[in-house]
Chains A and B, each alone.
Chain A
């Protein structure tokens, strides 16, 4: 699988993401800078986590308007897999590639801990190596992960099975509506999620629950 990782000033989880993609796909991803208007031919584009532009204005708001995001939107429109994790999820929302918004955590606190995630839809390219309803462990680290969408959008997401990951067993760390942790677009090729599957891929991490997500993508592109 060929992949690309988007780099913006202030993102800081790119190294973890590059390590995970390299280990699981066997090939290091190419990196694309915010001013790049083209992304090479790849199967997957990832926007990692961090604090692009210092979270100025709104989390992800400035990053979402950088030239590279037009290239990401073009890839998404052509069916290339796109995944945004944490700040990457916020950027996908701000760029309009996914519906809704991520607001300040209900507790007003930055949360950095492990949560339980339910695989609410295992019938996606990103989750096909998980069992339906499987509960996995996953770390979160964010201040603005409180997902919000208007009632109509929410009903559509739920009705179409587009809520892919949900905080399980009372571990919702941010007040997210319907315990939503990750959603997918209508065509099933753009995923955004707050938790960090790239940080739980080998025994040294204390678990490998994030690994099937990447393995499923690698298998699909092979």
Chain B
């Protein structure tokens, strides 16, 4: 079995009102010096088999087809 983590984040230049709200809440809690917060998503996947190259290719296809909306989001794949 191969374990993988996919991280999906908003592209730079895309406004993130949720990140902005979190940023404000953090400063309200007294955390000074938080210049920016960007919110994203994390997916932990378990894939059958042991072919890491195939897993990498499959995960890329999954990101392109469903996990990320590439109009507004970037993704990163890490096999663990």
A101 on the interface (CB 8 Å rule)? yes
Interchain CB contact (< 8 A) of B72 among A57, A103, A105: A103
CB neighbours of B21 from chain A (8 A): 108
CB neighbours of B69 from chain A (8 A): 58, 61, 94, 101
The interface residues of chain A, by DSSP majority, are classed as loop
Per the bound structure, the CA–CA distance linking A103 and B14 in Å amounts to 10
A153 to chain B, nearest CB (A): 8
Contact A106 B66 (CB under 8 A): no
- With an 8 Å Cβ cutoff, the count of chain A residues facing the other chain is 20
Within 8 A of B (CB), among A100-119: 100-101, 103-108
Known: A103-B72, A149-B71. A61 touches B18 (CB 8 A): no
B17 on the interface (CB 8 Å rule)? yes
A150 on the interface (CB 8 Å rule)? yes
Contact B15 A106 (CB under 8 A): yes
CB neighbours of A104 from chain B (8 A): 17-18
Q: Which residue of B lies closest to A149 (CB)?
A: B71
A65 on the interface (CB 8 Å rule)? yes
Contact B17 A108 (CB under 8 A): yes
Per the bound structure, the CA–CA distance linking A40 and B18 in Å amounts to 42
Per the bound structure, the CA–CA distance linking A101 and B11 in Å amounts to 12
Known: A105-B17, A108-B21. A148 touches B72 (CB 8 A): yes
Chain A residues at the B interface, C-beta cutoff of 8 Å? 57-58, 61, 65, 93-94, 99-101, 103-108, 146, 148-150, 175
Chain B residues at the A interface, C-beta cutoff of 8 Å? 14-15, 17-18, 21, 65-67, 69, 71-72
Can you pick out 16 interface pairs between chain A and chain B where the beta carbons lie within 8 Å of each other?
A: A57-B66, A57-B67, A61-B66, A61-B69, A94-B69, A101-B69, A103-B14, A103-B15, A103-B17, A103-B72, A108-B17, A108-B21, A146-B17, A148-B14, A149-B71, A150-B71
